Structure 1
Amino acid sequence: MIVQLSGQVKFPITLDPTVWIFDDRKLTYDEVFNGSEAPEQEEVEDELKRKSLRFDREVYQQKINPPVNKSLTRAEKERIKTETFLMPLQPFIHTSEPDPMVKKAVLVTDNGDHSIDTDDLSNALLLFSIEGKPLKENGPVHLYFEDGSNKEAPITGIKKIIFE
C-alpha cells in the first residue's frame, strides 16, 4: 500500500496513501471534478477558527514538549468516512527534487508501465480513498489529470513513479 518516487531525484521518497486521510491538503472528488464549492459559510468560519487556534497552539508549542495532537470534530470524522478524496502530487514531487533535465516519468502499475510528461504529472491528483476506504483493488492510488481528461479511465494500480 505504498508508492515510491525514485529515479533521477535528489531525495527518493516513499508515500503512504493510507495516512493522507488526515492531511489538510486532500481534496474531495466533487470539489475537483464537479466544481462544488467549499462547505457552507458557517463551516468555513468554523474552519478559520480551528486554523487560528491551531496556529496559536503551534506558535506556543515551540516552547512546549511534546506537541498536542489536533482532535477531529464529529463532522470531520463523518466526512472522512463518507467522502472520496484525492491528493495533489505536486508537493511530493517538489520534496523529492527531480533533476531539472528530467522531462518524463514512468508510472509502474499492475497493468504495465505508463510514460507521462513531468509537467502533466506535477498537475496530477492521486485518488487514495473512495467513500472513506483505502483503495485495495487496483490500488494503492489512481492518477487523475487536473483537467479531468482521464476522469473516465484513470491510471490505476500505481506502485512506483520513476523520473527518467
Structure 2
Amino acid sequence: METIIPIKGKVKYKITLDPGVWIFDDRKVDLNTYFQQEQSQISDLEEYTKSISKHWDREIMEGAVYPPTLKTEVKFQKEKVLTGTFGIPFKPFLENAEPESDAKYVLIECGMEEDVKLTLSEASRVVLGFSKDGKPLTEDGPLHVYYHDGSNSENPIKKVTGFTVE
C-alpha cells in the first residue's frame, strides 16, 4: 500500500501528502468529537491572538515558572496521541496546491473502488482521517475522507490513493 498521496491535475503546484507525519501536526482534530461539536470559523490571526493572550495571562498570574500541572498535561497529550482517532482538514493542502482558475472539481481516487467527485468548495471542507485508535489506517487506508457535516462518519470514503483537481 502506498502511503504517499498526491494532489495533481489543474494545480499550480503538484504536492504530496504523507499521513504518517500528521500525528505531530497541530491542525489535527479528534474524529471522536469533531462532528458533535459546533464548527466555528476562526481565523488564524484570531486563534494566534487567543493563544498568545492565554500564555501572557499565565505568565502574569504564575510567573515564568512552569507549574506542575503542565507535566500532567503533557502526559495526557502523549496518551491521547497513542490511543486517539484523528483527522486533518483538507483545505490547507488544497490551498497550497493552488487550483487553477478554471478548476471546478476534485476527484478523490479510491483505488479499485469507484472514485468520488466533489466541487472545489465541498472538497475544501472535508476532513482526512489518518488514524484510528492510535494506529495508522493500514487495512483500508492510508486515508479516509469524511464530509464536513459528518454525514458519512459511519461509512467514510476509504482506500484513497490520490486527489485530482479537474
1:138-157 to 2 correspondence within 5 Å? 138-157=140-159
Q: Which residue of 2 aligns with 1:43?
A: none
For 2:139 and 2:118, how far apart are their aligned partners in 1? 23
For 2:127 and 2:102, how far apart are their aligned partners in 1? 23
- List runs of 5+ in structure 1 lacking aligned partners: 37-47, 54-71
SS in 1 for 2:128: strand
For 2:125 and 2:132, how far apart are their aligned partners in 1? 21
Amino acid corresponding to residue 75 of structure 1 in structure 2:
F
Count residues with an aligned counterpart.
Answer: 134
Q: Which residue of 2 aligns with 1:82?
A: 83
Q: CA deviation at 1:74?
A: 1.9
For 2:80 and 2:143, how far apart are their aligned partners in 1? 20
Amino acid corresponding to residue 76 of structure 2 in structure 1:
A
Corresponding position: 1:101 with 2:102 = yes
Q: Which residue of 1 aligns with 2:124?
A: 122
Amino acid corresponding to residue 74 of structure 1 in structure 2:
K
Q: Which has the higher strand share?
A: 1
Amino acid corresponding to residue 8 of structure 1 in structure 2:
K
For 1:100 and 1:131, how far apart are their aligned partners in 2? 39
Q: Which residue of 2 aligns with 1:112?
A: 114
Runs of 4+ in 1 over 6 A off after TM superposition: none
- List runs of 5+ in structure 2 lacking aligned partners: 39-50, 57-72
1:58-73 to 2 correspondence within 5 Å? 73=74
SS in 2 for 1:93: helix
Corresponding residue to 2:5 among 3, 6, 15: 3
For 1:18 and 1:105, how far apart are their aligned partners in 2? 23
Give me the identity figure in percent: 39
1:24-60 deviation per Cα after TM superposition (whole angstroms, max 9, x unaligned): 0000013312329xxxxxxxxxxx58x949xxxxxxx
SS in 2 for 1:91: helix
User: TM-score under structure 1 normalisation?
Assistant: 0.76
Q: CA deviation at 1:154?
A: 1.0
Q: CA deviation at 1:152?
A: 2.1
